[in-house]
């Protein structure tokens, strides 16, 4: 499928009749052609034919697709080596903030993920056709992405010509640009929306080694499912991976594709992560409502069938003893499933007797099928953050009781983050099992800025100072990490680093209770759907930086820019990390090893949530407050500085503000409409 609905060299576009162009656009349109869209295309064609008649070269594309975002740019105009992105608002007299951010997002997307755009100037332009004349200032960022330019249909050609004269060069590699590889790294929300619409993971993911690993893993699991279905077998796959490697993406892809092409399997994506389930469901529902016109209530019902909370699935299976309708179950963050004690306690509070762990019960439910079934367990390393989370060992103990099941294991299952074994020979199961490297995702694709982030965080938490220094020096130029003791400075970092709709917010440990004195109250819960999905005008959104998300809110999700607020519950001293809980009016030691592990993993989660960069805020404390003694924070701050993390200073913002050039278009050059329509004759 073409990346655009219509594309042509400029001379061909000028020669093509308006009806011919409109017909091609209508033919390639994926949706029912509405009158408003038809009229908008006609207006765009007329405007562009009129203003481009004086230009002797170029290439034009209508409705150019951006797969990662699931959207299309009205027009891409390639001229003198520059990529002009033209987003029309036909009939509009205003320039709305969300429209400006949208066209900015298109430019940033191409800069980050489109190979032929990496070294080119990219000029996002918002054209409100009926807006009045106004002075135009053009600003260029250091990465050659212009800040969005707002103009009307009459001064559009002046802007294009002015920029082309200043920054253009002789270049006619139009087809190379059109056919260039697009290597996106979608957020999990964007990925879920694209997969739910029917895209394949290969269409929305990168094509480098990390993504190839992801594709091979997906293919392998699909082969296991197909083999189980064909030969009447029951199978379970254990997929491991580093934080941000795409485990959830792989699971969503398998579930969505099998729902679409193998409807009778009723594949379902299960998660015990309540915030993740809520955010993904709401994101899919809002998307369905916006693009398909589905009533929001119906859209929410549909998305809740595809993505379910594991606890609801469990409760339904308790009530109904028959085999479930689902033949394929993908269980995200399976290491967080409850052990027997926690499951029994929780169910007893609800008046139900269940003396099994969640892993055992889930396997037993799928074992009710007489013919075949398949479970896919997505296992994150070092991700257990709550009491009662069983980890992988509970799954092994449970599957051992179902000897007819075939078990497919990652060859990294023995690593310290998972089973802590010395060799594969130590894995003892009484059922048929096998190992494969295809069930391990080794490369983080969350942060397209740096694939070394998870390694850096691991070494930081393990107090491997030399290794931390080494990795930090490698990643700091592509992935900025700063340190500050000034919360306002941290907030400024988030706001000024972000462009377009890049999302930012503040996160902190759920036990960092004394951050409350800094204005960050971790005990006040966030409304996750609004915090992650709502816009800059919603006080409940992350953009307002009033509500702080904890490790429980944000695990499995991500933002572009993050401030990690470091609490007094996890402190660095000369003897290593100290682990604390705040009870009543004072801090108490955490002595149990598994509770310490949860604490450490909480900070692992918090430090791996940012896609593009982060700032770590360590409070100064207060000697007059015994719960916030400066020594509780100074050790952590000094340790982070010792591994090279730079202090956030004014120089950072000066670098952000430094433009290559500023072009001002004064009022006297904004000619009358008749003159501009003739320009540059």
The three-state DSSP-derived secondary structure of 640-655 is HHHCCCEECCHHHHHH
* 8 Å CB contact between 304 and 225: no
User: Are 483 and 493 a contacting pair, CB within 8 Å?
Assistant: no
Mean pLDDT of the 52-67 span: 89
Winning range, highest mean pLDDT, from 413-422, 459-468, 551-560: 459-468
Give the model's confidence band at 290: pLDDT under 50 very low, under 70 low, under 90 confident, else very high. confident
pLDDT over threshold 80, residue 430: no
Q: Which of 305, 384, 375 is nearest to 337 (CA)?
A: 384
CA distance 613 to 286: 28
Q: Which pLDDT does position 413 carry in this prediction?
A: 77
What are the structure tokens assigned to 89, written together? 């608002």
Q: What is the 3-state secondary structure (H, E, C) of 62-93?
A: EEEEECCCCEEEEEEEEECCEEEEEEEECCCC
Q: Which range has the worst mean pLDDT, 17-26, 146-155, 290-299, 478-487?
A: 290-299
End-to-end CA distance of the chain: 38
What's the pLDDT at 69? 63
Residue 581 pLDDT > 50: yes
Is pLDDT of 362 > 50?
yes
pLDDT exceeds 70 at position 134: no
Strands 559-565 and 504-508, by their bridges, are parallel
Residue keyed to tokens 């429980």: 552
- Which 8-state DSSP code applies to residue 3? S
**pLDDT surpassing 90 at residue 33:** no
What's the per-residue H, E or C state across 10-67? HHHHHHCCHHHHHHHHHHHCCCCCCHHHHHHHHHHHHHHHHHHHHCCCCEEEEEEEEC
For the chain, the C-alpha Rg in angstroms (whole number) is 27
Indicate left, alpha or beta for 606 from its phi (over 0: left) and psi (-120 to 50: alpha). Answer: alpha
CA distance 225 to 581: 45
What is the helix (H) or strand (E) element at residue 570, kind and residue range?
A: strand 570-573
Res. 67: pLDDT tops 80: no
Mapping DSSP onto H, E and C, the string for 344-405 reads HHHHHHCCCCCCCCHHHHHHHHHCCCCCCEEEEEEEECCCCCCCCECCHHHHHHHHCCCCCC
Give me the pLDDT at residue 15, please. Answer: 95
> Would the pLDDT of 677 be above 50?
no
Mean per-residue pLDDT over the chain, rounded: 87
- Report pLDDT for 412: 81
Q: Is 590 helix (H, G, I), strand (E, B) or coil?
A: coil
pLDDT band at 497 (very low <50, low <70, confident <90, very high): very high
333 alpha-carbon distance from chain centroid? 17
Q: Which of 194, 358, 161 is nearest to 280 (CA)?
A: 194
In the block, which residue shows the tokens 């802590």?
420
Strand-pair partners of 576? 573
| pLDDT, average across residues 80-105 | 93
% the chain with pLDDT above 90: 55
Structural contact between residues 676 and 150, judged by C-beta atoms closer than 8 angstroms: no
pLDDT, residue 302, reads 86
Q: Which residues are within 8 A (CB) of 553 and not within 5 positions of it... i.e. 6 or more apart?
A: 275, 507, 525, 526, 528, 531
CA distances from 201 to 64, 101, 190, 378, 647 (A): 20, 26, 11, 17, 39
Q: How many CB atoms lie within 10 A of CB 304?
A: 15
Omega prior to 470 cis, within 30 of 0: no
Retrieve residue 465's tokens.
Answer: 């100072």
Pair of tokens at residue 598: 């949860």
Q: Judge whether residue 405 has pLDDT over 80.
A: yes
Q: 616 near 481, Cβ under 8 Å?
A: yes
- 307 DSSP 8-state letter: E
Mean pLDDT is lowest, of 83-87, 123-127, 218-222, 392-396, for 392-396
Secondary structure of residue 169 in the 3-state scheme? coil
The structure tokens listed for 492 are: 């400024």
pLDDT at 676: 37
* Residue in 347, 336, 317 with CA at minimum distance from that of residue 273: 336
For 373, the token pair is 């079934």
pLDDT at residue 429 in the model: 74
pLDDT for residue 12 is more than 70: yes
Mean pLDDT within 122-149: 87
The answer, yes or no, to whether residue 119 has pLDDT greater than 50, is: yes
pLDDT band at 446 (very low <50, low <70, confident <90, very high): low
Average confidence (pLDDT) over 424-452: 76
pLDDT range class, residue 666, cuts 50, 70, 90: low
Query: What's the rounded mean pLDDT across residues 358-385?
Result: 86
What average pLDDT score do residues 334-360 get?
A: 82
Nearest CA among 439, 445, 458 for reference residue 392: 439
Model confidence at 105, in pLDDT bands (50, 70, 90)? very high
Lowest mean pLDDT among 2-16, 224-238, 260-274, 408-422: 408-422
Q: Cα(149)–Cα(161) distance, rounded to whole angstroms?
A: 13
For residue 240, pLDDT over 50 is answered with yes
Paired strand residues for 269? 307, 330
pTM of the full structure: 0.82
At residue 128, the pLDDT reads 93
Q: Does 543 have pLDDT greater than 80?
A: yes
Of the chain, the percentage scoring pLDDT greater than 70 comes to 87
């Amino acid at each position: 499928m073409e990346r655009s609905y219509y594309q042509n060299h400029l001379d061909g576009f000028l020669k093509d009749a308006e009806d011919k162009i409109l017909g091609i656009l209508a033919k390639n349109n994926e949706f029912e052609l509405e009158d408003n869209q038809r009229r908008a295309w006609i207006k765009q064609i007329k405007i562009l034919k009129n203003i481009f008649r004086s230009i002797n070269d170029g290439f034009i594309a209508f409705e150019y697709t951006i797969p990662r975002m699931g959207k299309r740019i009205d027009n891409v105009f390639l001229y003198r080596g520059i990529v002009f992105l033209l987003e029309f608002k036909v009939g509009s007299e205003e320039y709305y903030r969300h429209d400006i951010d949208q066209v900015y997002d298109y430019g940033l997307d191409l800069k980050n993920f489109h190979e032929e755009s990496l070294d080119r100037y990219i000029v996002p332009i918002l054209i409100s056709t009926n807006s009045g004349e106004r002075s135009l200032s053009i600003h260029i960022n250091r990465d050659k992405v212009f800040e969005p330019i707002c103009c009307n249909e009459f001064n559009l050609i002046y802007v294009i010509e002015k920029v082309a004269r200043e920054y253009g060069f002789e270049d006619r590699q139009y087809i190379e640009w059109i056919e260039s590889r697009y290597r996106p790294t979608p957020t999990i929300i964007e990925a879920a929306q694209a997969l739910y619409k029917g895209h394949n993971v290969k269409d929305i993911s990168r094509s480098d080694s990390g993504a190839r690993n992801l594709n091979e893993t997906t293919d392998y699991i699909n082969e296991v499912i197909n083999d189980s279905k064909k030969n009447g077998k029951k199978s379970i796959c254990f997929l491991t991976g580093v934080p941000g490697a795409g485990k959830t993406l792989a699971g969503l892809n398998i579930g969505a594709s099998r729902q679409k092409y193998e409807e009778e399997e009723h594949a379902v994506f299960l998660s015990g992560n309540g915030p993740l389930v809520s955010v993904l469901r709401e994101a899919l529902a809002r998307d369905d409502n916006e693009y398909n016109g589905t009533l929001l209530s119906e859209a929410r019902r549909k998305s809740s069938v595809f993505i379910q909370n594991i606890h609801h699935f469990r409760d339904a299976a308790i009530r109904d003893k028959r085999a479930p309708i689902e033949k394929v179950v993908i269980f995200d963050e399976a290491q967080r499933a409850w052990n027997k004690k926690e499951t029994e306690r929780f169910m007893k509070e609800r008046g139900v007797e269940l003396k099994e762990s969640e892993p055992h019960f889930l396997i037993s439910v799928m074992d009710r099928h007489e013919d075949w079934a398949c479970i896919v367990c997505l296992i994150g390393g070092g991700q257990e953050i709550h009491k009662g989370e069983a980890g992988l060992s509970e799954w092994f103990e449970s599957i051992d009781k179902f000897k007819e099941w075939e078990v497919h294991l990652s060859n990294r299952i023995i690593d310290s983050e998972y089973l802590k074994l010395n060799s594969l020979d130590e894995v003892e199961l009484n059922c048929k099992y096998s190992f494969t490297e295809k069930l391990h995702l080794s490369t983080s694709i969350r942060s397209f800025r740096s694939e070394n982030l998870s390694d850096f965080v691991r070494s930081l938490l393990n107090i491997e100072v030399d290794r931390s220094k080494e990795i930090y020096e490698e990643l700091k130029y592509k992935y900025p990490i700063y340190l500050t003791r000034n919360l306002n400075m941290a907030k400024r970092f988030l706001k000024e680093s972000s462009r377009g709709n890049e999302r930012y917010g503040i996160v902190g440990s759920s036990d960092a209770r004394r951050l409350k004195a800094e204005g960050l109250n971790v005990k006040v819960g966030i409304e996750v759907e609004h915090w992650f999905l709502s816009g800059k005008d919603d006080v409940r959104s992350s953009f307002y930086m009033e509500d702080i998300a904890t490790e429980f809110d944000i695990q499995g999700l991500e933002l572009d820019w993050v401030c990690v607020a470091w609490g007094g519950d996890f402190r660095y001293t000369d003897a290593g990390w100290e682990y604390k809980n705040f009870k009543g009016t004072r801090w108490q030691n955490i002595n149990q090893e598994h509770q310490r592990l949860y604490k450490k993993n909480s900070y692992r989660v918090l430090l791996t949530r940012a896609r593009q960069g982060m700032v770590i805020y360590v409070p100064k404390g207060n000697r007059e407050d015994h719960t916030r003694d400066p020594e509780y924070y100074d050790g952590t701050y000094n340790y982070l500085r010792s591994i090279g993390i730079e202090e956030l200073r004014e120089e950072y913002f000066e670098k952000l503000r430094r433009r290559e050039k500023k072009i001002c278009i004064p009022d006297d050059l904004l000619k009358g409409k008749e003159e501009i329509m003739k320009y540059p004759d």
